[in-house]
Chains A and B, each alone.
Chain A
Amino acid sequence: MATDSMYLENLEEYVNDEGKIVTYKWLSLNLHVHVNEAKQMLYTFVEEQKKKKIHVTATYFVSGMCKSVDGCQTYTCTVIPEEELETFKNSLTTVHSIHVYSVQKAGLKDSNSLYLADYDCVKENLFEIHKYRSIKYEKAQPSSEAKRPPIKTAQEETKVSGTSSAASTNGHSSSNTKKDAKKGGIAGMFANAATKKADASKKADASKKQEIKAETNGTTTAGKADKKNQKDAKKGVANFFANHTGKKAAPKTMEVKKEENEEEAEKKKDTKPKQNGKGKRSKQARNGDSDEESNKKKRRRIRIEMSESSEEEMDYESPVPSPVPSPTREPSPVPDTPEKESPKKQEVSVKPSQNGEKHRKRRRKLVPKTFMDEDGYMVTEKVWESESTDASDAEPPPVKETPKPSSPQKKKKASPKKKSPPSTGSKKQTSLSSFFSKK
């Protein structure tokens, strides 16, 4: 029989040439034969090798009843080397079965090597081993892999959303829309990407108009809308990233967590202003929320960008400026965290800056964000530097001229103009800064 001769040759190769420990289980899984047949194959192989005077060692599995110390009959099953076979057989009162367990070139030192010999093979074929066993159990039918799809669908969603948002953003030439899309992309990776893609594209257009309205009206609703636009824009951006980068799992998971936190934070922030009836309080609440939100966004963006830095070639402009206007609305309630964030972001910006043009862009975007939170002057200077590398800069001149309180306002003005307009509620201030920027 062809199979017989073949397996003998294969065994010879495995044992002698590769020095492998061939167990009956390994043989059965690799040659797709019944376990009992594999055991017989091993036996014939051992006999053949003995005839050829080639040295191979074999371990045998012996099972039987033996009298234990307590005097009761124990059903013993052991794997023993060939040398001990006869003595062990004699120690048993009755022998149930003997067969070859494994064949290897040199003797085994311990059971670990035997265990490891077929560990990998078993692990890979965990759900196929049952085919080669002697016992079939009809009840044991594994269910389909229902648990894996959820992870895949999230990735698929991001893929799809990435493609659609890319399509929508590619149509726009302005950097604002790109930034909007990017912001939306990061934010929207996890919620229904499909619906938000449409929203992102729509809101990208609407956001510009709303920015203008915001500047003039300064209503809270517009601010909220801007926030939402930011979200959608982020989603678009993230999808944009997702499209271009091969790796999705790690940044996505990170983004997922951040997204969830972000969304929760945003939800809370959205509810807070609604709850406050008075305009000032609501504005402050919004500003405070936006501060925290922007801080969180900044942190997340930094991390996200860190993870995607090596891979992506996208513009990093949009995510950076979007949170900038929101923190600048309120220079007074400056929490300590932004200060801490700024050094971090500085460090972050330092690292990527060493790499090339892409990181340059990053620098631009990163720095302004953080520094916007801080006291006006210091922040503005840094904004300058960052933006100097950029081509489009209407911000620097107005920033110089304006005093401290107005500087954040100016920045707010400038940033909404250039980049995506996530600024919420600071429209009154932006109107002032717009006045200054004209000069």
Chain B
Amino acid sequence: MFEKKGGNHPDDLLSKPSQTHKACERQSGNFSDCSDRFLLKDKTFSRQYAHLYAERLWEVRPKVEASARKKWGKDIVIRKLHELKSDETCVVIGTLFKHMELKPSILQEISEEHNLMPQPVRTKYVDESDKLYLEDELQRIILMGDLDVQTSVTGVIIAVYGKEPEDDQGKFHVEKYCFQMLSDQVPRPVIQNDKYLVLISGLEIGSNEEQIFSLQLFVDMVTGMLGNSEEQSHCAEICRVIVAGNSLSSSTQDKDSLQKAKYLSKKTAAGSVDAVKTLDDVFTQLASSVDVDLMPGEYDPANYTLPQQPLHKCMFPEASRYPTFHTVTNPYDFKVEGVRFLGTSGQAVQDIVKYSTNEEPLDILEKTLEWGHLAPTAPDTLGCYPFYKEDPFIINDCPHVLFAGNMTKFDSKVFKGCGGQEVLLVSVPRFSQTSTAVMVNLRTQDCVPMQFAAPSTMEPNR
């Protein structure tokens, strides 16, 4: 991926000191932030989630209708559930609901009839007996047929083509289905030079497995301290670094201090305090050389519900002195050099993994593009803010790059949409596990993983 400019002299620093060392200028990309819809303006939690679902259906229905007409012909009959006639082949549009036996339910937890059996924590809540329902504003109906229950999730707006048979009332037999069409992509401009954007996530400072030395190598590399001058000029082409969540580790969220007696935990500071100080140093070094966007993640000191609000700058007093340091929302939507990026810190993808048989993060990212929704399982199983008149997770503008942080490994794929769209799907791995960051070339939409290995075998020479 790295094309050598001029001669390759990897060994040129294994020489006598010379006085001439040029410094190169950091590239800066034209940046514009499109995440305004993820910032919560008012925070009233006294609403019910029905508004969110209603809004979702209301907003997506026309698009799904257009997609259905395009796919199955303009003369199809679109019916609401209460208007269904038996044995009439028609199209129904509604929200998908997956009924899962093993899904943790608060009612079951506190139900005295069930003898208060605690529900075990599982990694997957899927079961053979899961059913799919289609719900619109007034009614719901069971779906049978070609729809794959196991890979579907709750909350997707779908159009199903089929009929309700006379002899099997209450069930809708599906022959075909479709989702919202991905909108046309705004073609990205042609960029002359190579410019890179680095994605990194899962730093997880504060845990035993934190890769602090690898992180320092990453910082040194991006800021242009490591490598010879050629390499440093390559790194000067990195115009932005996105930290996609989980900069603190889950162990800093330890709530044992709440359970312990006060006299035992009087002088113990929270684990997150030291971790945040370390992070502040890291980000200060980074911000002094490149634009940094920090997204909150599952284990970061931010709100739990999606969309997560930006971390407060008071946590990073030194780094905040640089205007190049930004704290942003999760999910994050922005444009650099005309390339539209959309990404999350991975909570939506992980939730879909839990509640369906989908495993591969890239498959799930692809599905979210097809479904047209970033986090369909919110608010059912994923914490979500009770929106009233909007659903900001609906994918209205097709991005050029869709990324999800905190995945188990690095992967990337180019998804080709039916409208000619090309979306680069990137799964950013956890740095604490893999010491790998991802470098995206804005010119070519290529993706290269950057791995920083610490010296593992160093024996004392004695």
Contact = CB atoms under 8 A, between A and B. Distances in A.
A220 interface: no
The 3 residue pairs across chains A and B that have the minimum distance between CB atoms: A135-B224, A99-B13, A134-B232
Interface in A103-124: 106-112, 114-115, 122-123
Interface residues of B, number: 73
Interface in B271-312: 281, 284-285, 287-291
Contact of B451 (A37, A74, A95, A106): A74
A97 B228 contact: yes
A39 B228 CA distance: 9
A4 B17 contact: yes
B139 interface: no
B94 to A, nearest CB: 40
Most B CB contacts (10 A, CB to CB) among A122, A138, A142 go to A142
Given A127-B288, A134-B24, 4 more contacts: A96-B10, A129-B225, A135-B23, A142-B322
Given A36-B21, A77-B221, A137-B289, A142 B212 contact: no
B17 A134 contact: no
A78 B453 contact: yes
A340 interface: no
Interface string B132-157: 00000000000000000000000000
B425 to A, nearest CB: 14
Given A75-B1, A134-B233, A140 B455 contact: no
A41 B19 CA distance: 11
Contacts of B16: 40, 43-44
B17 A37 contact: yes
A91 to B, nearest CB: 11
Contacts of B213: 79, 111-112, 114-115
A61 to B, nearest CB: 6
A69 to B, nearest CB: 10
B233 A137 contact: no
A133 B455 contact: no
Contact of B2 (A65, A100, A126): A65
Given A115-B213, A126-B318, A133-B289, A65 B450 contact: no
Contact of A99 (B227, B322, B436): B227
Nearest to B234: A96
Nearest to A38: B17
B451 A76 contact: yes
Task: Say what secondary structure dominates the interface of chain A.
Answer: mixed
B462 interface: yes
B458 to A, nearest CB: 4
B23 A133 contact: yes
B11 A34 contact: no
Contacts of B10: 64, 95-98
B227 A97 contact: yes
Contacts, number: 224
| Count class of interface residues, chain A | 35 or more
A74 B449 contact: yes
A39 B287 CA distance: 24
B289 A97 contact: no
Contact of B19 (A37, A68, A112, A114): A37
A72 B461 contact: no
B217 interface: yes
A95 B458 CA distance: 22
Contact of A123 (B2, B21, B281, B453): B281
A61 B455 contact: no
Interface of B: 1-2, 8, 10-19, 21-26, 28, 212-214, 216-217, 220-221, 223-236, 281, 284-285, 287-291, 317-318, 321-324, 411, 436, 439, 448-462
Contact of B231 (A80, A84, A96): A96
Interface in A27-70: 33-37, 39-41, 43-44, 55, 57, 59, 61, 63-65, 68, 70
A81 interface: yes
Contacts of A278: none
Contacts of B448: 73-75
A114 B458 CA distance: 11
B25 A138 contact: yes
A220 to B, nearest CB: 41
Contacts of B13: 36, 39-40, 43, 97-100
Contacts of A80: 455
Given A37-B18, A97-B13, A126-B284, A68 B449 contact: yes
A109 B459 CA distance: 6
Nearest to B436: A74
A78 B227 CA distance: 11
Nearest to B228: A97
B2 A96 contact: yes
A130 interface: yes
A63 B226 contact: yes
A139 B449 contact: no
B291 A139 contact: yes
A71 to B, nearest CB: 12
A183 B294 CA distance: 49
Contacts of A280: none
A73 B285 contact: no
A251 B22 CA distance: 52
Contacts of B234: 96
B206 to A, nearest CB: 16
B454 A79 contact: yes
B225 A134 contact: yes
Contacts of B26: 135-137
16 contacts: A35-B225, A40-B16, A40-B18, A77-B450, A80-B455, A84-B457, A97-B13, A108-B460, A129-B288, A133-B23, A133-B225, A134-B24, A135-B223, A135-B236, A137-B28, A142-B288
